[in-house]
Structure 1
Amino acid sequence: MEQWAFWLWEEHSDQIEITLRLIVATVAGMVVGINRDIHNKPIGMRTLALVSLGSAIVILSGSVYEGLHFGQDAVSRVVQGILTGLGFLGAGSILRGKDGMEVQGLTTAATVWIAAGLGVTAGLGAWFITVAGTLVTLFLLTYGTQLEEKLIRFFGRSERSREGTLED
């Protein structure tokens, strides 16, 4: 068993570290989001987890895959432009209800932003980061709400009021 684990680490240490970084970034965003959910604040676990994961994807793609045909400064400027532009697109998906208290579309906006991060990684040829980031994103979007509800019940409120939440 030890030989297998050592071989796996030796052969795939970079991919294991990248996956660990993506997961840790996601968990960090989730922890902050759970705190916000417990205190009935606007942005929740899924949204902040997606934003944190997207940030990790973009920074890893820029730092791990720097030996491309483009200069690091040029790639950095392009990534900044993409993320800034997509921020405006994501903002367009956020809607405020007539009462001014309910806001919808933040998870959609975060998903637009993370899709931009995944596009950046694919464009840089960071295939492993793209695949790992996509899988973590899909897991979070598929099971995030259920996990969020369980963690809220465990750490805070006994039942979650969906009124006033910003998650979609």
Structure 2
Amino acid sequence: MNPIDTDSVFQVFLSEFSDLSDAAEAIRAIVRLLVSMVLGGLLGYERELAGKVAGVRTHMLVALGACVFVVVPLQSGMAMTDLSRVLQGLISGIGFLCAGAILKSDNAMNVKGLTTAASIWIAAAIGVTVGMGHAMTAIVATVFTLIVLRLLRGWKH
């Protein structure tokens, strides 16, 4: 039986946590993840103020998760064509999550949760946008979403 080489074990351990060993790359990833959480949290806070079930934590997690699905492939050097397939899967998965937020009663005219589902969907889009490095676009999209959710709440035909 061979003795365990502690130096080798230590090197393997370090290599498992080396994805953020470059300071600039670490800061970039941390900022993107943090910005996605904050913007998602703003949307969730608005939903909570409106008395909706999907609130701050849900929206933060959706935006953060979407951001992670972009940041990690970009860090690993994935080609944009391959990243587009990741995004296709992400968008489909978010669709299933959103479907769970929609409730329909026996009356076809009584559907609830569509706006919350849409806010979850846009939270994912904002997370992707931040993950791609377009924080300003994500901030503008968040502001526009908050305008739609807050200012247009009572506006119906």
Name the TM tier (shorter chain): 0.3 to 0.5
Bigger Rg, structure 1 or 2: 2
So what's the TM-score if we normalise by structure 2? 0.48
So what's the TM-score if we normalise by structure 1? 0.45
